Structure 1
């Protein structure tokens, strides 16, 4: 059973926010979460020494590492994010680690994780229009290029690759599933608020 752990953002409602408040560097305008200055050693120390031990104590045997792709917004933190994932693996060698996206550093982090989630592989939720939409054109080409990259890494590091798409009707859900199966990935489809999962 995996526990959720955001590596690049933090919500002020998290019980450990008061310990890492000094590490925030901006705010996500959509999700109302704070971006983390990954060079702030307090962030790494709190995760490694306090947050993850509490997760393990509750019986979880793995972590879903989210918001790794914050390094796309803050490229200067790429090495810090890579080091954080490396240190989590070193400190907790028996935990299952599943990385969500973070493709700009996946070549360096693949050796430390057990699997990767490709969120928004086929579809995405357009927050401006309030609609579920499919990738097309250059965006879809980029997605498929990343998929081929993941296939190579899967072969090299024995990774499990999942997809997580968002859809609100059966036709769109089937499109997501078929696209994932084309690459041999394990598909999941949900609504944007993750109230259902297929």
Structure 2
């Protein structure tokens, strides 16, 4: 996961386990909390790495539960949830608290695009983000997209990741977005630039040409770019 041949990007999204020495080269890393022990997190912190725990706010990969909807994410198979369900709120806040207690420095909030699936849940999601922010305290909170909650979201998080800003994965492989989508994403990026947030692009590519395209385009919009694979398995 490199931005230029001789430089590391300022953040790493890694959904595997181990690789502590490699992860220690980054200022900030996003990790799956169940994959790392308190001792491993302490090691990374001692190396000057800020660790963020992955947290899903609107999809559930767990067993059947009362907060789940019948619909599932077609890409990953997780169940969409009723975001405002009290037990779901308790579940997510509990996960956030457990991650912070385990030694994580902050949280990475994923699955925030409910305006595209269940727009009636946007107010509930904002409430949940606020609850998670309270748990994180002074810790760093990074949101993945969540554009339907702007500008209020910007008051609750420290940074935003624009996932698939320029490039994406498809059934046929990795590819740039078509021009109309690139233009739409550019309009959102212009809005993000008006906010006082750290901005990152997370793109998916498997060739030098597509990687370079994503990095150069992100820079045009004030975003630091990370390029990885679909499974976020690169360090």
* TM-score normalised by L of structure 1: 0.88
Shift of 1:114: 0.2
CA RMSD of aligned residues (A): 1.3
Shift of 1:92: 3.1
What pairs with 1:110-129 in structure 2 (closer than 5 Å)? 110-127=154-171
> Quick one: structure 1 residues 92 and 62, their matched pair in 2 at CA, closer, same or farther if it must change by over 3 Å?
closer
**Equivalence for 2:174:** 132
**Equivalence for 2:81:** 36
- Deviating beyond 3 angstroms after TM superposition, the runs of 4 or more aligned structure 1 residues are none
Higher share of residues assigned helix:
1
**Equivalence for 2:191:** 149
**Equivalence for 1:101:** 145
**Equivalence for 1:27:** 72
Q: Does 1:83 pair with 2:127?
A: yes
Question: 2:212 & 2:135 partners in 1: Cα distance?
Answer: 40
**Equivalence for 1:182:** 220
Q: Does 1:45 pair with 2:90?
A: yes
Contact 1:8 1:36 in 2 (8 A): yes
| Unaligned runs of at least 5 residues, structure 1 | none
**Which segment is superposed worse, 132-141 or 172-181?**
132-141
- 3-state SS of the aligned residue for 2:132? helix
* TM-score normalised by L of structure 2: 0.75
**Equivalence for 1:73:** 117
> Of the candidates 92, 101, 107, which is equivalent to residue 63 of structure 1?
107
**Equivalence for 1:159:** 197
Shift of 1:30: 1.8
Shift of 1:169: 0.6
**Equivalence for 2:54:** 4
**For each residue in 1:140-181, what CA deviation from the matched residue of structure 2 results, as whole angstroms up to 9, or x when unmatched?**
11010000010011xxxx210000000011110000100011
Contact 1:2 1:62 in 2 (8 A): yes
- 3-state SS of the aligned residue for 1:152? coil
| Unaligned runs of at least 5 residues, structure 2 | 1-50
Contact 1:71 1:81 in 2 (8 A): no
> Quick one: structure 1 residues 59 and 91, their matched pair in 2 at CA, closer, same or farther if it must change by over 3 Å?
closer
Question: 1:112 & 1:61 partners in 2: Cα distance?
Answer: 16
Question: 1:97 & 1:76 partners in 2: Cα distance?
Answer: 24
Question: 1:120 & 1:114 partners in 2: Cα distance?
Answer: 20
